[in-house]
Structure 1
């Protein structure tokens, strides 16, 4: 009597879990990524808090706020942008070693790779936030918000991490060379970081930079995080940060979809 074996396609949740575990293991095995993602933000926090603390004495700086309390939430946002470049490099590495083509030949949704990268970045974002928090407390940081502020800050941070992972992941998928992705990532990362209120109040910047900051999701995330840390955040601050990050995330997701629709028409 002959028996037949029926192949069952793994559930989407199982595929996503496998990809996520694979990304986490890969990230943990690359010292450079761990150094850049986890320890570099702490080094920047220590250096910036000492070198630029005189900013607190300048005009336009919030009264009664120490520079370490002003800087720490900004470093949470900035380090999330910096770490987002890892998603782009990882995507490019998958292309160069042929793993992306292997995944494309498997019976699974193409979007799962991006989702796994996003979950990976979210996990590292939470770990990085914990380490930054410990370093900041050692430098005199105080959290002035409530438990609700802490929860809202985590939500803002994770959503920003998702948007950055999608953005730099798209760059990695398009350029497909780790060295080029690193360079391009720097060109994108720098304006996101510095055209914001991360290191100095936006009011002290030139008018054109203030205008660009109004559409910068990192600027909105920084303002919301800082407000939650200082206990002065409003619902509008949180909503603005989430809307800005989600809008960027949606735009990034839409790019491959539009490209697939335009390419056949162009070919004809």
Structure 2
């Protein structure tokens, strides 16, 4: 008991506020079980559908030799489902504006970036839950993990960093548009190129040249490649580092850069 009191005494107010916001987000998600269920099960449904509809891709030119389509698709679906779930962060941000919660946060002695960080942690938790469920569904379809423990850990790191970037991106869209219905449509327009301008569903070598160039700027494409490499046991350090840097760059672009743009140095009148 004394140790707990000491820990509480030394914990900063920022930490307490962050914990309160994370708990609040998790409780809010749990209060809508239908949305929670669809968010967690949609990736499994897409995996089953895509693995059957596009499995003929494995017989085409440019497809990796000796790789089954389910092994090729599963790691990409981890990245794609993370992008899809990112739209939930945007809708949640918009709802916080419509019900006045963000105005309430602004009136409190609280760091302005804490709600966004709490939202990111919330998305990371659900990302790991979706990955577990997706893995179970993939195993039932014949998926096999060819990597080692290091590959599994590195894949989870890539996935969580991508989730943070997607949460920041769609959260920024929600903060700007501030209408849940509009955010859903805007999120779809952003989500589609992130998903399909990549090697998620077919090798990039089978796509037009301009799409290959665009994929080099797509953090989801790099994440899908790194995740696939770790699943197949063929990932390089460069693949993993590139995927993490691309996701962090997107996070910085939508989180740090707009904040710098709002900064105005004060001048002292003479």
- The match for 2:206 is 204
- The match for 1:250 is 252
Q: Please report how far the alpha carbon of residue 32 of structure 1 lies from its aligned counterpart in structure 2 after TM superposition.
A: 4.7
Identify which of 128, 131, 151 aligns with 1:129.
131
- Count of residues paired in the alignment: 257
Distance 2:224 2:38 in 1: 20
The TM-score with structure 2 as length reference comes to: 0.92
2:221 counterpart of 1:219:
yes
Structure 2: unaligned runs, 5 residues or longer: 1-10
Q: How does 1:174-189 map to 2 (within 5 A)?
A: 174-189=176-191
CA RMSD of aligned residues (A): 1.7
Bigger shift: residues 252-261 or 49-58: 252-261
- The match for 1:64 is 66
- The match for 2:192 is 190
CA contact (8 A) 1:36 1:83 kept: no
- The match for 1:240 is 242
Structure 1: unaligned runs, 5 residues or longer: 1-8
Cα shift readout 1:86-126 (whole Å, capped 9, x = no counterpart): 00000000000001101111110010000000000000000
Q: In 2 relative to 1, CA 186–261 (structure 1 residues): closer, same or farther, beyond 3 Å?
A: same
Q: How does 1:71-150 map to 2 (within 5 A)?
A: 71-150=73-152
Say which SS state the counterpart of residue 64 (structure 2) adopts: coil
Q: Please report how far the alpha carbon of residue 10 of structure 1 lies from its aligned counterpart in structure 2 after TM superposition.
A: 6.8
- The match for 2:230 is 228
CA contact (8 A) 1:41 1:75 kept: yes
Say which SS state the counterpart of residue 65 (structure 1) adopts: coil
Q: Please report how far the alpha carbon of residue 211 of structure 1 lies from its aligned counterpart in structure 2 after TM superposition.
A: 0.4
| Moved >4 Å (runs of 4+) | 262-265
